[in-house]
Each structure stands twice: as C-alpha cells, then as structure tokens.
C-alpha cells in the first residue's frame, strides 16, 4: 500500500518540480510565473524502495470568498485531508514569509503529520533561509533541491517513519486496465463540469472564467463494475491565437492526452456547435486513431431540442464523413439531464474500436463489395483486389493485397472504408486500410515490355541452372565411386591404395644443345629446307616447335620465318581459281 503524500505550500516555491522529481517524469506543467497549478493532480511515484501516491496542489492563498483563488484553496485543503502526510515546501532563498506562517498555523490545527522541506537549498544561498523554518513549530526542516535532486536521502529517512503497514490481502493487484477517456473541446465548453457530474463531487475547478484548467488532470473512477480513467484537458484554441508560453504548454499536454486515450469525448457548446476549431479537434482525434463520441453540453439552454439534434447529426455526417455514424449525446452537466446516456455510448464505441473481424468474413465482404462496385480501370488496366486480412485492432487496421496497388484511386479506398463500416457495424470508429501488392518475380521482363517472353526466359534459365547442377553432381559422384572401386581392388590384391601413394614424376634429361645435322656439320645446307634452331630441352610444353615448312611455301622470307601476307589484287583485275602457284600471274 503506497504512502499518500500531499505537496503543499505557497505559490512558486517549486512544488510541481518536486512532484515531477518524485514521479520520475514530467507530468505537471512548470513555469517561472506563480499560480500555474490550479487543480489537484495525482500520480504514482517512489523514493528509493518507498512507494508513494503523490498529490500536487495549487499554491495557498489567504483568501476566503468566491474568487478563483478561494476555490483553489479549497482544493488544497481537500488534498491535506485526504493525504497521510503533508510535505510543507517553502523557498529557502527567500526565507519564511508571512504567508508561510499563516499556512503553517493552518497545518498545526490539522491532525495530520507534517514534514517541512526547504526547497532551492543548493549552494550557500539557501542556508540562512532554511534555518528560519524552526520558528514555524513544525519540526526540523530538510534542505532539498527539487530541480537537482539534492537532499532526497534525508527526505526518504523522514518519510520512512510514516510508511503504512502492509495488511493481508493488500498486495493483490488487479490486472484489469481502465478505459482511458479524454474529455477535449474548446475553452469554456463545460468539460470540467461534465467530469464533476460524472464523479458526483467537485473534483475539478469550475467557473464562468474561460481557461481555468491548465494541466491534464486524470481521475480514476468506476462505472458499472468497470474501471474508468477520466482525463480532463485544457481547452484548445486556434493555433494562431496561442501566443502565451503557458498556453502552448497546456496545448501540448492536451495533445499528449489525446495520444494516450482510447475514447475521446468531444464536448461542444450546444448553442453554437461545430465551429471550425471543433472540426479541427475532431479531425485530430481521427488522425490519432481514437474512437470519438460527440457530446452536446449545455443542452438545457436549447428550446427546440428534437429539431436541433436532427440538424446536428446531419451536419456531422456532412462535415466529418471520416467519422460517419459517431454517437451523439446531448446532456447538461449543470442539471444532469441526459447524463445517463453517455457511458453506454462510450462502452459501445470502445467495444467497436476493439473489434476483430475474421479473415473469411472479410474476404466474403470483399467479393460482395467488388460485385456491387467493381474497381476502376487506370490507364486501361483494371486494379484487381485479391485478399484482405486484419492486422490489428484499436483502431481496426486492415491490409488489402491487390494488383497495381500504388494506382488504387482514393475514392475507391473511401468506398471500401464506408462499406466496411456499414457491413460490420462500426460507426464512428476510424478505420485503416493499407493496400499492398505481392512480389512479382517477372518484374524485370515486364519492365522491358515483354512479360510473356520474360517469363519463358526466366523459366529457361532456371531449368538450365538445374541441369548444370545435376551434371556437376553426377561427375563428382562418378569420380568418387571410381576411386572407391580402385581402392577396394588394390586392397584385395594386397597393393597400396593408389589414391594415397604419391607418384614422383620422372624428368627426361635432354642434351643442352641439339646436335647439328651431318650436312650442317659439313657446312652444306640442304636446299629447300628450313634451318633447324638449337633449343634447350625444357619439357614438352616449354620446348618450341621447330619450323619444318619448305622455303617455297613461305614466300620470299628466309627459311624458318613467317609467311608473307597475301598481296591485294590490282584494281580491275579478276582472280582466277588455280592461279596461286609461284611465278604465275594473280589476275588478268
């Protein structure tokens, strides 16, 4: 069981920074200007092995009227009553102020343990201010730094004394995850009032002022035995109007809440719904893949309610076709009228958002949709869808295998999505269809403009490579079998294995210089024969061939030389077959 710790103090002393430090991530909005935090914010954190349930509160103001500061003070007092331990934080660089003394007096009257923390105590600047906390009468202060993480060991030792005892049965965790619902809309549309009506208590700050909510406040709730996590967000204005740094941080926090939500409640003022900003917010939720429920707040201000609701639904179908069939709930957060229709619509939309469709049903529907409206022909060639399957849910995502997938028109894709939503009863759920085409092994042949010939050439190459591989394997196998047979025969005859005996090649030793012929030794050469050159005996491959061509067949070259190239016939002459002998004319 975690220790519930409320972080309290006057404005701008570093409560949200310490809250983010203990939570381990940046949840609360932090800025230099005071009064950023207004509502109580809850988060799970830890300090060493000590589990904590943290509560970030608004800065304490000494006012008691109907102003916004007085309502913020009421939220802080409710957090003190709920927590097990209060961590009173003050600025050690400024020292103890009069507002700190007023707040300390209020804490002393409560029957709750209090720990004093002197924040911003890094360096020597905060040493003097930390000592001033003794006069508050709340015990010894602990110098810490929420920004740099100093003093966390001393804070752990102080909190360890208030660690709750674990009872039997408390360690049983429920694995069921809550349904995350984000309430979004324009400023002053009635979002916080709707959350308070659902919870049955004033959990969030409300009022006539626009832009009261700054942080995205999550509240755990249970409805009809199911866990629900409601996330109240800051109002979203048009991007051109957002200039303040704090408003930019609030907008980023709201967009992050939409990203992590499962169902989005788009709250609109019923007196002027579906303005441009409402359409943009709905389109953002659809692009993020979240289930959307339209909520018409302040319904008690509408006179002709039936006609107004019909006109609203027609307008929603026309302006947001990608969310066709999304449920519309008209209610009043102030009076509670129509509030009972909201959660059943949310549960049904969440069930549709988590739908998984069987592959067989998808392909039967695909054939029916193609028969009703065949795919168009692009550049004279028709796109042919072949197979469809669902890859994941939340949101439902499908993949369609088709020929020429990159040329599928967008209007036919929209037709498939609308038909899918209508056939499987998925109103208001964003659907995703990815169109792919299978790998084509003959793509190279088609690219050259001869798909049939490319296919036959591909098959012919495959057969030729297979034949070559089989032939090589046959030769290797024949050699291996012959070697094995020779080894067996040698073993039977008692001879050594011929494959293992190394045979030393015998070199023939020839004369260094060839002997001359008798006629050459006498100095007389035989006419018509080429002279024989003396060569060294270097083996049969290295030895040059001796020219033995008669001299009358080599032209005018010397004996043993190369034959002369044939002369080209003279212009106007005609070559006669047979006139190629020596001394005969080449033409006439």
- Residue ranges for the binding site? 9-16, 56-60, 119-122, 185-192, 232-236
* 41 and 234 Cβ atoms separated by less than 8 Å: no
Residues making up the chain, counted from first to last: 588
Q: How far apart are CA 316 and CA 168, in angstroms?
A: 53
Cα separations in angstroms, 151 against 47, 116, 119, 143, 515: 12, 12, 9, 6, 110
* 6 and 85 Cβ atoms separated by less than 8 Å: yes
Q: What are phi and psi of 254, to 5 degrees?
A: -65, -45
Tokens (6 digits) for 241: 């109007």
Tokens (6 digits) for 322: 């990608």
User: What's the angle, vertex CA 7, arms to CA 36 and CA 86, rounded to 5?
Assistant: 150
Q: What are phi and psi of 210, to 5 degrees?
A: -85, 140
Q: Which residues does 576 contact at the CB level (< 8 Å), separation at least 6? A: 587, 588
Q: How far apart are CA 260 and CA 254, in angstroms?
A: 10
Q: What is the CA radius of gyration of the chain?
A: 47
Q: Which residues does 272 contact at the CB level (< 8 Å), separation at least 6? A: none
DSSP string, 426-462: -TT---EEEEE----TTHHHHHTT-HHHHHHHHHHHH
Pairing of strands 381-382, 385-392: unpaired
Residue 22: closest CA among 194, 127, 155, 170: 155
Cβ atoms within 10 Å, residue 8: 25
Q: What is the dihedral angle through the alpha carbons of 96, 101, 104, 105, rounded to the nearest 10 degrees?
A: 160
Cα separations in angstroms, 547 against 327, 413, 534, 540, 561: 106, 84, 12, 16, 8
Residue 295: closest CA among 248, 230, 242: 230
Tokens (6 digits) for 570: 């003279």
Binding site per annotation, positions for GTP: 9-16, 56-60, 119-122, 185-192, 232-236
Range 245-249 contact pairs with CB under 8 angstroms and sequence separation of 24 or more: 245/31, 246/29, 246/31, 246/33, 246/36, 246/214, 247/211, 249/29, 249/31
575: DSSP letter: B
Q: How far apart are CA 491 and CA 86, in angstroms?
A: 99
């Amino acid at each position: 069981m975690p220790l519930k710790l409320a972080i309290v103090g006057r404005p701008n002393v570093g409560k949200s920074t310490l809250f983010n430090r203990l939570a381990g991530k940046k949840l609360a909005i932090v800025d230099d200007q005071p009064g950023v935090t207004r509502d109580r914010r809850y988060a799970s954190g830890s300090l060493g092995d000590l589990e904590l349930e943290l509560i970030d509160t608004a800065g304490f103001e000494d006012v008691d009227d109907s102003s916004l500061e007085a309502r913020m003070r009421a939220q802080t007092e409710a957090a003190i009553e709920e927590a097990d331990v209060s961590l009173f934080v003050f600025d050690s660089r400024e020292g103890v102020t009069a507002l700190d003394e007023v707040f300390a007096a209020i804490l002393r009257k409560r029957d709750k343990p209090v720990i004093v923390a002197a924040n911003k105590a890094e360096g020597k600047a905060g040493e003097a201010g930390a000592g001033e906390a003794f006069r508050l009468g709340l015990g010894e202060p602990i110098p810490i730094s929420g920004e740099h993480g100093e003093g966390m060991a001393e804070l752990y030792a102080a909190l360890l004394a208030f660690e709750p005892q674990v009872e039997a049965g408390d360690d049983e965790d429920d694995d069921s995850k809550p349904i995350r619902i984000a309430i979004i809309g324009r400023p002053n549309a009635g979002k916080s009032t709707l959350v308070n009506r659902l919870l049955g208590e004033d959990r969030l700050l409300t009022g006539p002022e626009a832009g009261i909510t700054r942080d995205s406040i999550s509240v755990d709730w249970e409805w009809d035995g199911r866990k629900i996590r409601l996330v109240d967000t800051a109002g979203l204005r048009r991007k051109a109007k957002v200039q303040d740094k704090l408003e930019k941080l609030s907008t980023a926090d709201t967009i992050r809440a939409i990203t992590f939500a499962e169902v989005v409640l788009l709250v609109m003022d019923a007196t002027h719904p579906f303005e441009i900003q409402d359409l943009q917010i709905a389109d953002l939720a659809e692009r993020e893949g979240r289930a959307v429920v339209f909520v018409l707040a302040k319904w008690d201000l509408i006179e002709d309610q039936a006609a107004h609701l019909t006109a609203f639904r027609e307008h929603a179908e026309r302006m947001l076709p990608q969310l066709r069939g999304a449920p519309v709930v008209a209610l009043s957060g102030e009076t509670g009228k129509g509030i009972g229709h909201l959660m059943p619509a949310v549960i049904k939309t969440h069930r549709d958002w988590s739908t998984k469709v069987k592959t067989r049903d998808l392909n039967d529907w695909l054939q029916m949709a193609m028969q009703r409206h065949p795919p168009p022909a692009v550049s004279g060639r028709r796109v042919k869808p072949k197979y469809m399957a669902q890859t994941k849910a939340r949101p439902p995502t499908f993949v369609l295998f088709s020929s020429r997938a990159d040329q599928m028109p967008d209007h036919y894709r929209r037709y498939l999505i609308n038909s899918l939503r209508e056939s499987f009863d998925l109103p208001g759920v964003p659907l995703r269809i990815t169109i792919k085409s299978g790998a084509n092994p003959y793509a190279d042949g088609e690219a050259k403009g001869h798909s049939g010939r490319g296919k036959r050439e591909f098959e012919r190459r495959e057969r030729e490579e297979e034949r070559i591989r089989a032939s090589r394997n046959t030769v290797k196998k024949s050699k291996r079998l012959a070697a094995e047979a020779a080894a067996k025969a040698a073993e039977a005859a008692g001879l050594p294995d011929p494959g293992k005996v190394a045979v030393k090649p015998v070199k023939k030793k020839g004369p260094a210089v060839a002997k001359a012929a008798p006629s050459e030794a006498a100095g007389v050469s035989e006419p018509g024969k080429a002279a024989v050159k003396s060569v060294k005996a270097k083996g049969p491959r290295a030895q040059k061939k001796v020219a033995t061509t008669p001299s009358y067949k080599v032209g005018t070259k010397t004996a043993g030389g190369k034959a002369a190239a044939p002369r080209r016939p003279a212009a106007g002459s005609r070559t006669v077959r047979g006139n190629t002998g020596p001394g005969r004319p080449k033409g006439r």
